[in-house]
Structure 1
Amino acid sequence: MGNTFCLFCGCVQQSNIGVVERWGRFYKLAEPGFHFFNPIAGECLAGLLSTRVSSLDVRVETKTKDNVFVQLLCSIQYRVVNENADDAFYELQNPKEQIQAYVFDVVRAHVPRMNLDELFEQKGEVAKAVLEELGKVMGEYGYSIEQILMVDIIPDKAVRLAMNEINAAQRLQLASVYKGEAEKVLLVKKAEAEAEAKFLGGVGVARQRQAITDGLRENILNFSHKVEGTSAKEVMDLIMITQYFDTIKDLGNSSKNTTVFIPHGPGHVRDISDQIRNGLMEASSAQVNIE
């Protein structure tokens, strides 16, 4: 339901304030409620002003310090001050245009001092400067600036694409660094594992040879004690010949080998026996030197 008036009375709705004139001059302000007017004394209701908070969106195009054209979308929230409603009614014919002009002036004075990155980081400072300047000016005309919001900063399309490409390149570079570090860790761990495996393999071979040597030593001693008149060399030759035939048997039973040429004869057997014995003696001597 709107405000209702007649010649002698009127009703001012809530969130509004009336301006009463007498003989064409400002007389008083009419608060919300029912009012009587005396037309004989020249009183009349000249107009109404809303005291609600109004919002005005202003789009400002300007240039930053690094020569990038941007558009700033500002949202200005303002209202009429009840006590100074007469100034708002009589002083300004179009308050929206006045507010817009001051926003243009302040924004275009501050933004050219900043780079594009600084503008995104300090948009609150720009809004604060606009609020201070606009609040002082519009306060003289009966308006209160409640709040100013920098809703959006829109650079040129080509600039936005370039910024996205820079960000994507930086992220790809960082991903490459992490990928390289991961590959480095894998290579180091693989090398450590191979080194550990070779070390353990060497220990196993050394223990195996030591066990073989100890076993041969025990066999020779047992055989010499049980069979009188046999020397250690004869026992060693017998053991080597037995191992030689066992090796030939294992090679023949292996499914992976098709044809194996091995020199065989009494002389070859003696040569092989001497070679095996000399090899075991050298290995045993080396083991003693190490210990």
Structure 2
Amino acid sequence: METVFIVAAVIIALLLLSLVLVKQGHIGVVTRFGKYHRMMSPGIHFKFPFIDNVFNKISIQHRSIELEFEAISLDQASVNFKSLILFSAKNSDEDTIKKIAFRFIDEKSFMQTLIRSIEGSIRAFVATKRQSEILVLRQEIVDAVKDHLEDSLNHWGFHLLDLQINDISFDEAIMRSMSQVVSSNNMKAAAENEAQAQYLIKTRAAEAEARSIRVKAEAERDALELKGVGNALFREQVATGLAKAGTIMDAGAVDPALMLYTQWLDTMKNVAAHSHGNILSFDGSNDGFDKTFKQMQLINKSLLEKNTH
């Protein structure tokens, strides 16, 4: 009876040793007597106990590494980098899985080599550039490292999915100096913008004033022209009216000088009504009246002679 239990226990132990569970996203690598034998896909598999050995279970999922390291620029400035690398197995083919399983002694050796390769590529690139150039060369650094790293990863059975440089920083003293330079440039740009704005404001004001003066001058000129035309028309109408009145008075045997004298009296009345003074003095004696009337006659005679000629 005891023998039966022993045999059953041995059989169960052998069965347990024969079962291999491979998780999803992994590939099992089996060796027989220390030599590669076959691959195991995800699921439950059987192997010969003590003959077959599961050497490794290779992950074919995406993997990422975050790195922080320091590099020295051409002008001996210390530059701090933070980067992220994303990679995975190139495929699940047998040759690729064999490369991943047997290129390195273990996972730790592979990761050390990968990290040193990335850091070395970035340091080599930064060593050829000055500190002032590095910030604007982020993409160039990424491209240079990708070109170098892609070949190495392919040789190891991996594929580079992405490489990012998330942060580039300098020593505190350099950062303060850069901040002062940026602040100075911003102040200079602000002063230039302010000066330009003031210049534009003054220029626009001068242009507006010039336009206003020009419009005002044109308006005054037009007003004077209209006033001159109005005065000319007024004088023309007055002359026409006087001529008609003279003709009527000649037909009625009335001395035209009487009309001129009447106009003179109307003028004096209008001056008295609209002047700012209180007294209007003129010669109202008989001799003065006679003198004024004779002058009117002479003016009328002169006008008639001109009209005749």
- TM-score higher than 0.5 here? yes
1:49 has 2:58 as partner: yes
Counterparts of 1:200 and 1:151, CA distance in 2: 69
Match of 1:151 among 166, 176, 184: 166
Contact 1:51–1:80 (Cα < 8 Å) also in 2: yes
Which residue matches 1:184?
Answer: 203
Letter in 2 for 1:106: S
Which residue matches 1:96?
Answer: 111
Aligned length: 251
Q: How has the CA–CA distance of structure 1 residues 128 and 241 changed in structure 2, closer, same or farther, with 3 Å as cutoff?
A: same
Contact 1:58–1:73 (Cα < 8 Å) also in 2: yes
**TM-score (ref. length: structure 1):** 0.69
Match of 1:196 among 208, 215, 222: 215
Match of 1:79 among 88, 93, 101: 88
Contact 1:103–1:130 (Cα < 8 Å) also in 2: yes
Contact 1:14–1:33 (Cα < 8 Å) also in 2: yes
Which residue matches 1:35?
Answer: 45
**TM-score (ref. length: structure 2):** 0.66
Query: What is the CA-CA distance between 1:26 and the residue it aligns to?
Result: 4.3
Letter in 2 for 1:140: H
Which residues of structure 2 form unaligned runs of 5+?
Answer: 1-14, 250-255, 283-309
Query: For the pair shown, which has the larger CA radius of gyration, 1 or 2?
Result: 2
Counterparts of 1:38 and 1:92, CA distance in 2: 26
Which residue matches 1:18?
Answer: 28
Counterparts of 2:26 and 2:53, CA distance in 1: 16
Counterparts of 1:150 and 1:24, CA distance in 2: 42
Counterparts of 1:231 and 1:66, CA distance in 2: 114
Q: How has the CA–CA distance of structure 1 residues 6 and 130 changed in structure 2, closer, same or farther, with 3 Å as cutoff?
A: farther
Residue 14 of structure 1 aligns to a residue in which SS?
coil
- Residue by residue over 1:105-148, the C-alpha shift from the partner in whole angstroms, topping out at 9 and shown as x without a partner, is 21122234445675444422211111111222333333322221
Relative to total residues, which structure has the larger helix share, 1 or 2? 2
Percent identical: 14
Query: What is the CA-CA distance between 1:203 and the residue it aligns to?
Result: 1.8
1:130 has 2:145 as partner: yes
1:208 has 2:227 as partner: yes
Residue 90 of structure 1 aligns to a residue in which SS?
coil
Higher mean C-alpha displacement, 43-52 vs 69-78: 69-78
Which residue matches 1:61?
Answer: 70
- Residue by residue over 1:38-82, the C-alpha shift from the partner in whole angstroms, topping out at 9 and shown as x without a partner, is 1242x1213322111111122343355577654333221112344
Counterparts of 1:53 and 1:224, CA distance in 2: 117
Counterparts of 1:62 and 1:233, CA distance in 2: 114
Residue 7 of structure 1 aligns to a residue in which SS?
helix
Please provide the CA RMSD for this pair. Answer: 3.6
Residue 49 of structure 1 aligns to a residue in which SS?
strand
Letter in 2 for 1:199: E
Residue 38 of structure 1 aligns to a residue in which SS?
coil
Which residues of structure 1 form unaligned runs of 5+?
Answer: 252-261, 268-291
Q: How has the CA–CA distance of structure 1 residues 40 and 64 changed in structure 2, closer, same or farther, with 3 Å as cutoff?
A: closer
Which residue matches 1:273?
Answer: none
Residue 140 of structure 1 aligns to a residue in which SS?
helix
Residue 114 of structure 2 aligns to a residue in which SS?
helix
Which residue matches 1:271?
Answer: none
